[in-house]
Amino acid sequence: MADELKGRKIAVLATDGVEQVELTEPVKALKDAGADVKVVSNKTREIQGFKHHDKADKIAVDLSLDKAKPENFDGLVLPGGVINPDALRLVPEAIDFVRHFVDGNKPIAAICHGPWTLIDAGGVKGKTMTSWPSLKTDLSNAGAKWVDKQVATDVRLVTSRKPDDLPAFNKTMIEEFRLSHAPAK
């Protein structure tokens, strides 16, 4: 449905090393659903996408993290790739940005290694989540209940394991963003 997210503003937080398809496919799905989507990064012009361990395309950045105001967004997407979330965990402004969504009970969708950033923002304790299998121990140690399935949802949080899960992830993410509170001003 083309207008189910009309008026919704969604941030996609990423940096160099992002798994390209885990950024581009959710962005496409969100835009197709009518959302206004912005790629937010600690980089200013573009970020380096990856396809597994190999460099892929450069991806345009719409808004630098220092200019992005999380209160202007209704939801957040955290794509994976090993390098991307690990690098963002070391950027205090990125953790603060994510924490705004956690503390504000705004919807968040994270795939693959994306939940790593949520650990640092205090967003996993008590949540049922899935991720790339190597994050199972990290998420469990941070207080999450880890499950191995395509998509896990838990109170405005949608998580998935890998690129193969993108169709289910995108569908569930759009539904969660649609059901969430009124659009940001």
pLDDT band at 181 (very low <50, low <70, confident <90, very high): low
- Give domain status of residue 79, yes or no: yes
- Give domain status of residue 13, yes or no: yes
Task: Tell me, yes or no, if 53 is annotated catalytic.
Answer: no
Q: How do residues 89-127 score in pLDDT, each as one tens digit?
A: 999 999 999 999 999 999 999 999 999 999 999 999 999
Judged on CB neighbours under 10 Å (0-12, 13-18, 19+), 121 is buried
Which residue of the set 52, 100, 113, 181 is catalytic?
113
- Give domain status of residue 51, yes or no: yes
The per-residue pLDDT for 3 is 85
Which residue of the set 52, 100, 112, 181 is catalytic?
112
The per-residue pLDDT for 180 is 81
Cα distances (Å, whole numbers) of residue 48 to 14, 58, 112: 10, 5, 17
Percent of the chain's residues with pLDDT above 90: 93
- Whether residue 2 is predicted with pLDDT greater than 80 in this model: the reply is no
84: nearest Cα among 115, 109, 108, 63: 115
- Give domain status of residue 3, yes or no: no
For residues 41 and 68, the answer to whether their CB atoms sit within 8 Å is: no
Name the domain count of the chain.
1
Please report, for the domain that includes residue 164, its CATH number. 3.40.50.880
- Give domain status of residue 86, yes or no: yes
Give the pTM: 0.96
- Domain extent at residue 132: 9-179
Task: Tell me, yes or no, if 52 is annotated catalytic.
Answer: no
